[in-house]
Amino acid sequence: MGEDAASGAAAKGPLPSGAADSGAADSVAAVARLPSAPDVPTVDEAGAPGLYISVWYGLWVPKGTPRNVTAKLNAAAVDAMADPTVRSRMATLGLEIPPRDQQSPEALGSLQRAEIQKWWPIIKAANIAGE
C-alpha cells in the first residue's frame, strides 16, 4: 500500500461538527459555498480566487468493454443516484450528485480530460512523480 503525499478535505465533503461555527474552516476550495457550511466563504471570497479543488468519483470499465455493457452499468448507477435514500445519504456525507446530464460515460470522460489539463502542468512544474 502506498503513502499519502498530501491530504485535505474534499471541497464537497462534510466539515467536522462545529467547524463552520468555531472558525476552524477559513474557506472552502469550491466555486460556491457548501450547503453544509453556508457561513464559510469560498476561496474567491477569502482572497484566493480560482483555487478550486474537488473530489469526484466515477466508474470505469476496461478498454474494449462492449458499449451495451457500459450502458447497462451506467443506467444502474444513474438509477442508484436517483434513489431518495442514496441521495439523502450522499448529502449527509457532504457529497453532491451531479445533474443527470453529467451522469454519462461521455461526461465523465470530459471531466477527466479537463482535470488532467488543469493539473498536469502543475504536477510537471513541481516535479511530482509516482512511486
pLDDT tens per residue across span 15-67? 554 444 545 578 888 888 887 788 999 999 999 888 888 888 899 999 999 99
- Residue pointed to by grid coordinates 453544509: 36
Domain edges within the chain: 1-55, 58-131
Among residues 30, 33, 32, 36, the alpha carbon closest in space to that of 14 is found at: 36
> Residue 116 — pLDDT band, cuts 50, 70, 90?
very high
Do 75 and 82 meet the contact criterion of CB atoms below 8 Å apart? Answer: no
Compute CA distances 56 → 13, 24, 81, whole Å: 10, 24, 14
What's the confidence (pLDDT) of residue 94?
77
Determine the Cα–Cα distance for residues 71 and 102; give it in Å rounded to an integer.
Answer: 14
Determine the Cα–Cα distance for residues 114 and 81; give it in Å rounded to an integer.
Answer: 23
